[in-house]
Amino acid sequence: MDQQGQPHDPGAPRAQTGVVLVTGISGSGKSVALHALEDAGYFCVDNLPPELLREFLRLEARRPDRRIAIAVDVRSAGSLPHLLPALGQLRAEGVRVHSVFLDANTEALVRRFSETRRPHPLSDEAHGGRAGEAAGDGRRMLVDAIELERQLLAGLREVSTVIDTSQLRPAQLRAWMRDLVQAEDDRLTLVFESFAYRHGVPLDADFVFDVRVLPNPHYVRELRQLTGRDEAVAAYLEAQAEVVEMLGQIETFLQRWLPAFVRDERSSLTVALGCTGGQHRSVYFAEVLARRFRPRTVTLIRHRELDAGA
């Protein structure tokens, strides 16, 4: 019998912790993420066909102390329709599968494929096997293949924790992956991410708050070289009535709706806070909100621009 008193399926994988599914758009950094998990002590398998996922985890149940990470991507395009039902069945059987979806904007993906000179895995499917196009057509072919991949993986993205790697260095992605799996918990993980609008809004954001309307410490000479983590910047911002008001309103909004996301069994919720340079106001808001919500749920902080310069 299982924990609910139902007959136990001897072919079902035994419930275990640490099963991480790494997936996402080609060129978004899955290899980097998988190497980060290997460094964190995970046993990693790349490009496992979805039909074998349940059987593989059943075999791995003999090693209950081993944490597992599995990469599945569009290279198994013909098997992708089997993946979502397989994940649903595993979760119904009590196996905790944390799906992490890596994404990036099309411009970043095109640049990465151009730098590595590797073909996109869906190039033939997107263009009926045509080859030998001119350079301009080659870029169009690549963009079409990327868009086809987005369509094929849209359902998986909806049920995953999303990380936007468009602006991330490999070291940042490795650090964010380690933080994410270390924070893995039955509770929802609340992520506060600061960013600069001049570099674009993060693709992984569930909520975006624009704090550019608030007084900017950049224009105070003594504060210009500091960040939102510094006490002097915090003191300056806390002295502004509109900063205090907006901070309280964001906190109240999240308090009101966070339980709904928990009931929806979301594994994570990313709250992005943007200012002009991603150095002062957005960083301060992310730090303060994370500190206020930490007693209630698992909380992570990401500073896209600051971390890039670390």
Burial of 306 (0-12, 13-18, 19+ CB in 10 A): buried
Q: How high is the pLDDT of residue 2?
A: 43
Burial of 15 (0-12, 13-18, 19+ CB in 10 A): middle
Residue 132 pLDDT greater than 80, yes or no = no
Beta-ladder partners of 99: 21
pLDDT digits (tens, 9 = 90+) for 74-130: 876 666 777 888 888 888 888 888 899 999 999 999 999 988 888 888 877 655 545
Contacting residues for 136 by C-beta, under 8 A, at least 6 apart:
none
Q: How high is the pLDDT of residue 248?
A: 97
- As a whole number, mean pLDDT of residues 22-26 equals 93
Burial of 55 (0-12, 13-18, 19+ CB in 10 A): exposed
Count of other CB atoms within 10 angstroms of residue 253: 13
Annotate 90-104 with three-state secondary structure.
HHHCCCCEEEEEEEC
How far apart, in whole angstroms, are the C-alpha atoms of residue 39 and residue 210? 36
Selected residue with higher pLDDT from 105 and 55: 105
Lowest mean pLDDT among 30-34, 238-242, 280-284, 285-289: 30-34
Name the CA radius of gyration of the chain, rounded: 21
Assign 5 a pLDDT band (cuts: 50, 70, 90): very low
Mean pLDDT of the chain: 86
pLDDT digits (tens, 9 = 90+) for 135-170: 457 778 889 999 999 998 998 898 899 999 999 999
pLDDT digits (tens, 9 = 90+) for 183-200: 755 678 999 999 999 999
Query: Which residues belong to CATH 3.40.50.300 in the chain?
Result: 19-182
Residue 8 pLDDT greater than 50, yes or no = no
The whole-model pTM stands at 0.77
Lowest mean pLDDT among 5-9, 279-283, 289-293: 5-9
Cα–Cα distances in angstroms (integers) from residue 166 to residues 28, 199, 207, in the given order: 8, 10, 18
Residue 14 pLDDT greater than 90, yes or no = no
Mind giving me the DSSP string for 109-138? HHHHHHHHTPPPTTHHHHHTT-----HHHH
Q: The tokens 């349940």 sit on which residue?
A: 54
Using DSSP's 3-state secondary structure scheme, residue 158 falls into helix
Look up the CATH number of domain 19-182: 3.40.50.300
Mind giving me the DSSP string for 176-207? HHHHHHHT--SSPEEEEEEEEGGG---TT-SE
Backbone angles phi, psi at 150, to 5 degrees: -60, -40
Cα–Cα distances in angstroms (integers) from residue 53 to residues 20, 21, 121, 136, in the given order: 12, 10, 21, 40
Residue (of 294, 272, 286) closest to 228 by Cα position: 286
Percent above pLDDT 70 for the chain? 87
Cα–Cα distances in angstroms (integers) from residue 47 to residues 9, 23, 70, 181, 307, in the given order: 27, 9, 7, 20, 30
Using DSSP's 3-state secondary structure scheme, residue 225 falls into coil
Q: How high is the pLDDT of residue 134?
A: 46
Element (H, E) at 238: helix 231-238
Beta-ladder partners of 100: 22, 161
Residue (of 155, 131, 112) closest to 26 by Cα position: 112
